[in-house]
């Protein structure tokens, strides 16, 4: 659709420029030789204007050359409008880099066209023609450069957004599994005497979490290669995260009641928030008791995860951290129109609360 609109716009502009600055002067001469001489450069100019987005460099130089040729032959009165029309997409594409490569040849062509188009001794006509040519080329160049820089800025912003999204996904996918693995390994290492059966059970759970992290990482790669590569876990994945956290030594009491199906996007956000909150509990409050509540309150889905702090520590064993996971939760909630708040509880421990707008599954 966009390509068709561009083609129609460029075709209309080409017809207008050729009609006003080429055909009309030819009609004024009333001689067939003039028509024959003008037909080729006029056709070349029209073709260059139509092809300006596909071949911007060639179109700009071709239109400028054809305009100069037509001006020298006395069958063209175009003050470099066709060249300016072709210069715009070139400036958009290359922005600052084209300033010398294209600006100098275009300026020379403009000067040649001005000098040859104005009768000798007509100083006023020379001034007008020069102003028209300079203004046309300058405006096209400036507009194209500004547009090109805006497009480049938007692309850079999108690239950074994708990088941040990937970083959050990697943190969510790997962070929880590694936290559980570290917690389980630490428990085993802290025991004075470990039976072989207990050691095997622990290693089996470690293998399970590592395998799950690998599968999630592979799913993330597939999603990056093809956005429809497969759905992420939603509400149905909360139970598995809860069980994994319990296996790491955290007593979790979880209740999920949303009163019906919700859309996949909100389900993924709920899953990630619960996953990150429990991962923090495993890392910073080992042995703590946690409560997970996911329920619907009117038109809002409330997710609340609390931990009571590390046992025997009167609070969290450690509150240090990069904050990446918490900020990631906030960003995920924001994308679906929700909010996330967190902080230490007065009686000890930590609480994360998210409020997300309810969206029924389609």
Q: What tokens does 235 get?
A: 């509400």
- What is the C-alpha to C-alpha distance for residues 180 and 157, in angstroms, rounded to an integer? 35
The answer to which of 157-171, 322-336, 338-352 has the lowest mean pLDDT is 157-171
Q: Is the pLDDT of residue 47 over 90?
A: yes
Q: Is the pLDDT of residue 337 over 60?
A: yes
Q: Average pLDDT, stretch 220-224?
A: 56
Alpha-carbon gap, residue 86 to 67, rounded angstroms:
12
Confidence of residue 165 (pLDDT cuts 50, 70, 90): low
Whose structure tokens read 């990150």? 276
Cα–Cα distance for residue pair 246/93, rounded to 1 Å: 56
Q: What is the pLDDT of residues 100-148, one digit of tens each?
A: 444 445 554 555 554 444 444 444 445 566 667 777 888 888 888 888 8
Q: Pairing state of beta strands 300-307 and 350-357?
A: antiparallel
* Residue 18 or residue 181, greater confidence: 18
**Residue 147: which residues within 8 A CB-CB, separation 6 or more?**
91, 92
- What is d(CA 278, CA 8) in angstroms, rounded to the nearest whole number? 57
For the chain, the structural domain boundaries read: 2-155, 164-357
Question: Where does the pLDDT of residue 258 fall: very low under 50, low under 70, confident under 90, or very high at 90 and above?
Answer: confident
Better-scored residue on pLDDT, 59 or 190: 59
The answer to whether the CB of 268 falls within 8 A of the CB of 236 is no
Q: Is the pLDDT of residue 253 over 80?
A: yes
Mean pLDDT (whole number) for 217-221:
62
Q: What are phi and psi of 348, to 5 degrees?
A: 110, 150
Reply yes or no on whether the pLDDT at 34 is more than 70.
no
| Region of 312 on the Ramachandran plot (φ > 0 left; ψ -120 to 50 alpha; else beta) | left
For domain 164-357, give its CATH number from 1.20.1050.10, 3.30.565.10, 3.40.190.10, 2.40.30.110. 3.30.565.10
pLDDT bin (cut points 50, 70, 90) of residue 194 is low
H or E element that contains 145: helix 123-190
Give me the residue label for tokens 């599968």. 215
* Whether pLDDT at 293 is above 90: yes
Rounded Cα–Cα distance for residues 292 and 278 (Å)? 9
Q: Which has the higher per-residue pLDDT, 204 or 194?
A: 204
Strands 251-257 and 289-297, bridge-based pairing: parallel
Q: What are the CA-CA distances from residue 244 to residues 113, 287, 333, 342 (Å)?
A: 77, 13, 24, 23
Rg (CA), the chain: 34
Q: How confident is the model at residue 328 (pLDDT cuts 50, 70, 90)?
A: confident
Measuring CA to CA, which residue among 158, 141, 159, 48 is closest to residue 95? 141
Mean pLDDT taken over the chain? 75
What is the C-alpha separation between 112 and 115, in angstroms, rounded? 5
pLDDT(314) > 50: no
Q: Which strand ranges, in their side-by-side order, compose the sheet holding 289-297?
A: 251-257, 289-297, 300-307, 350-357, 339-344
pLDDT of residue 319: 45
pLDDT at 294 (0 to 100): 92
| CB of 310 closer than 8 Å to CB of 265 | no
Confidence of residue 305 (pLDDT cuts 50, 70, 90): very high
């Amino acid at each position: 659709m966009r390509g068709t609109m561009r083609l129609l716009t460029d075709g209309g502009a080409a017809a207008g420029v050729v009609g006003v600055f080429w055909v009309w002067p030819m009609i004024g001469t009333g001689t067939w030789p003039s028509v024959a001489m003008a037909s080729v450069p006029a056709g070349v100019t029209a073709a260059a204007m139509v092809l300006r987005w596909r071949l911007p460099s060639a179109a700009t130089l071709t239109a400028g050359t054809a305009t100069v040729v037509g001006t020298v032959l006395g069958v063209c009165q175009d003050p470099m409008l066709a060249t300016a029309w072709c210069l715009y997409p070139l400036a958009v594409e290359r922005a600052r880099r084209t300033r010398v490569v294209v600006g100098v040849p275009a300026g020379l062509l403009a000067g040649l066209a001005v000098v040859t188009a104005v009768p000798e001794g007509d100083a006023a006509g020379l001034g007008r023609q020069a102003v028209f040519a300079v203004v046309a080329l300058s405006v096209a160049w400036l507009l194209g450069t500004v547009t090109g820089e805006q497009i480049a800025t938007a692309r850079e912003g999108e690239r950074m957004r994708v990088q941040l999204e990937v970083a959050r996904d990697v943190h969510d996918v790997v962070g929880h599994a590694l936290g559980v693995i570290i917690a389980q390994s630490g428990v085993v290492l802290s025991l004075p005497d470990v039976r072989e059966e207990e050691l095997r059970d622990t290693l089996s759970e470690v293998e399970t979490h590592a395998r799950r992290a690998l599968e999630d990482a592979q799913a993330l790669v597939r999603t990056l290669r093809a956005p429809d590569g497969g759905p992420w876990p939603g509400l149905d994945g909360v139970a598995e995260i809860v069980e994994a956290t319990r296996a790491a030594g955290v007593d979790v009491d979880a209740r999920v009641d949303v009163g019906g199906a919700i859309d996949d996007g909100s389900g993924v956000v709920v899953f990630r928030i619960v996953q990150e909150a429990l991962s923090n509990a495993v890392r910073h409050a080992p042995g703590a008791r946690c409560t997970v509540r996911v329920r619907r309150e009117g038109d809002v889905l409330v997710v609340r995860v609390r931990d009571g702090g590390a046992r025997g520590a009167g609070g969290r064993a450690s509150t240090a951290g990069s904050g990446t996971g918490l900020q990631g939760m906030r960003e995920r909630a924001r994308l679906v129109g929700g909010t996330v708040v967190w902080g230490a509880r007065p009686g000890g421990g930590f609480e994360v609360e998210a409020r997300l707008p309810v969206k029924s599954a389609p």
